[in-house]
Structure 1
Amino acid sequence: MDRLYQTAELGDIDGFRQLLADHPLILHHIPTRPENPLHLCCAAGHLDFTKAILELKPVFAGELNSDGYTPLHLASANGHVQILKEMIQVDSKICRIRGRDGKTALHFAAMRGKTEVISEMLASCEGCLEDVTVQKETALHIAVKYCQFASLIVMLDWIRKTNKDEILNMKDEHGNSVLHLAVWKKHRQVLEWLVGNSPGNLEVNAINNSGLTALDLLLIFPSEAGDREIQDMLHSSGALKARDVTVHVTADASPSRPSLHPSYNNQSSNLIEFFRYHKGRDSPSDVRGILLVIAILVATATYQVGINPPGGTWQDDRGHVAGTSIIGTHNSVVYAILISFNSIGFFVSLYVIGTLTSKFPLQPELMICITALYLTYNMAVTTTCPKNSRVFTIILTSVLPTAVPVIGNLLRKHKVGTERCVRVCTFLNTPGVL
């Protein structure tokens, strides 16, 4: 069986024929492997070998490998046009098979800028440009996202020739059309085509899920060059801000008719929703970096309060102890509340830093630094607190570090349990379920 995969990877058609002569049923006894032989020869671009496999075992063309891709996905990503033609002759619908994340072979070709593959696929597989990923992205979205201008031009020309302008207005899961993405990426060439070739059918004032039009995105994310030209193009095509779109819709509507969407009436709430964390849009690495920055800022601020309590410390021993907190001497209750909340902020920030850096390089050294910072804080707080609050402070700074992860886990479990209950209740209340 290994010989079969070796011949497929090398494209050894003579070796394959000899193998079939020795084992006529070898293609019907494929063991459990990450891929079938057609995956290997399509990825490598072996046309004759692909023809032979398709003739004997056409069902291989629609099988997914362990990564969730068909042989056509691999051939398209590598720009093997002739292999694409052979596979389409077997079954034209094979172009629309969805792989991992819902991506089709056209998405792969658009992502890699394989223009010949895109042209052949659009000519042979009707409707493939309307296929979307699990994020509801068309091949146009993918091409803009990965800055593949050549892919875009091929698809946009096909849209113009076939009058399929409605594809231009399709939105991803965040409500962004191709125009939104082109403005956000500052792709002037794409904008010129969109505005110039589809002036009547392009929805220039489409509003995404954050309540923003393409013009809003341009004004919110300015750059140093090209913005003025892009803004002029948008204005010439009738582009407006979301709040202006809402005003026009409300003015034209009858008194009894509700406005387009309640969130559009408040631009500030739109901005809050836009900058809020969205799972699937924001990468884990970016989120981890932001959390680290916030945790470090909190640790720095609370550490300073711990070693330099408000009001300062006594500088002499007349009626008090030098180095102890002045506010703690005068009002032990206020001091206890202050040091409690400050210690909570400090210990939680240290816990977050330790968690987010748990698999970083030099982890032992980093943990030594965090431990040293924790001990320094404890010693400073214990030293500066008045004698009547010292026992409480020692207990507080000893118990909190242990309680922080426990409380955090309990809160997360409670949140997960609550979300599950909400989903179950929603399901049970759905008409037709019971």
Structure 2
Amino acid sequence: MERTDNSPPKFSLREFFKSLIDHKGKNKPEEVRNYLLVVATLIAAVTFQAGVNPPGGVWQENSHDHKAGRAIYASDVMAFYVFLTCNTLALSSSIFLIINLTWGFPFFLEVLVATVSMLMTYGASIFAITPTETMPSVQFRYVLAIAAVPIIVRVVIQICKYVLWKWSGGKCKFYIG
């Protein structure tokens, strides 16, 4: 629609918010896939870096109350535990997304090897910087088990979709995730 007068365009807050939510016909599936890959890669890079080099850094020398190479942030046990949990969940979610979005494409095996290696490096780094006195091995295992949460959630969603599809006699299609 072309304007013929010189008046400023009308701005509607309602239309603005509607355009933010409505994506129909705006993005092709391959564009969305590429956007998601970029976002997932950025999240993986940031969370990996935060795990390898924790906030506050690491102690540079041994003393009576800390050991060199251990995270300074770990002196606040609860905050450090929350940090490790959330950071691990973010890293594993982004890597799971990267693997899913590259599934079946050329060089998928190389992407899989790289991402799994990155997860293992992250785990080794967390193990190296976490003081054993601050975080007992049981709590550390919980943090590592968090890495499996995205996979478990996706499997549960797929099972629910299958069960709902079976109950509907194959007629109903449900979109869950």
- After TM superposition, is the score higher than 0.5? yes
Are 1:290 and 2:58 an aligned pair? no
Are 1:404 and 2:150 an aligned pair? yes
Q: Does structure 1 conserve the Cα–Cα contact (< 8 Å) formed by 2:69 and 2:129? A: yes
Q: Deviations over 1:79-134 (max 9, x none)?
A: xxxxxxxxxxxxxxxxxxxxxxxxxxxxxxxxxxxxxxxxxxxxxxxxxxxxxxxx
In structure 2, relative to structure 1, the CA distance for the partners of 1:325 and 1:284 (3 Å cut) is same
Are 1:241 and 2:41 an aligned pair? no
SS in structure 2 at match of 1:387:
coil
1:32-431 alignment, distance < 5 Å: 179=1, 204=2, 234=3, 236-237=4-5, 240-243=8-11, 264=12, 266=13, 270-276=15-21, 278-319=23-64, 320-328=66-74, 330-388=75-133, 389-391=135-137, 392-397=139-144, 399-410=145-156, 413=160
Rounded to whole Å, the distance in 1 between the matches of 2:60 and 2:50 is 18
Q: Does structure 1 conserve the Cα–Cα contact (< 8 Å) formed by 2:92 and 2:150? A: yes
Q: Does structure 1 conserve the Cα–Cα contact (< 8 Å) formed by 2:59 and 2:67? A: yes
SS in structure 2 at match of 1:315:
coil
Q: Deviations over 1:376-412 (max 9, x none)?
A: 1111111101113151223321x22332122135457
Rounded to whole Å, the distance in 2 between the matches of 1:277 and 1:308 is 40
TM-score, normalised relative to structure 1: 0.34
From the CA coordinates, give the structure whose radius of gyration is larger.
Answer: 1
Deviation at 1:318, TM superposition (A): 1.1
Give me the CA root mean square deviation.
2.3
Identity rate, percent:
23
Rounded to whole Å, the distance in 2 between the matches of 1:272 and 1:409 is 34
Rounded to whole Å, the distance in 1 between the matches of 2:127 and 2:17 is 42
Rounded to whole Å, the distance in 2 between the matches of 1:344 and 1:316 is 30
Q: Deviations over 1:170-196 (max 9, x none)?
A: xxxxxxxxx3xxxxxxxxxxxxxxxxx
Deviation at 1:358, TM superposition (A): 0.5
Deviation at 1:237, TM superposition (A): 4.5
Question: For structure 2, which runs of at least 5 residues remain unmatched after alignment?
Answer: 165-177
Question: For structure 1, which runs of at least 5 residues remain unmatched after alignment?
Answer: 1-178, 180-203, 205-233, 244-263, 418-434
Rounded to whole Å, the distance in 2 between the matches of 1:381 and 1:317 is 19
SS in structure 2 at match of 1:312:
coil
Partner of 2:172: none
Ranked by relative contact order (alpha carbons within 8 Å, sequence separation 6 or more), the top structure is 2
Q: Does structure 2 conserve the Cα–Cα contact (< 8 Å) formed by 1:382 and 1:394? A: no
Q: Which segments of structure 1 move beyond 6 Å, counting only runs of 4 or more?
A: none
Q: Deviations over 1:289-319 (max 9, x none)?
A: 1111111111111111101111111111112
Rounded to whole Å, the distance in 1 between the matches of 2:147 and 2:46 is 18
Deviation at 1:327, TM superposition (A): 1.6
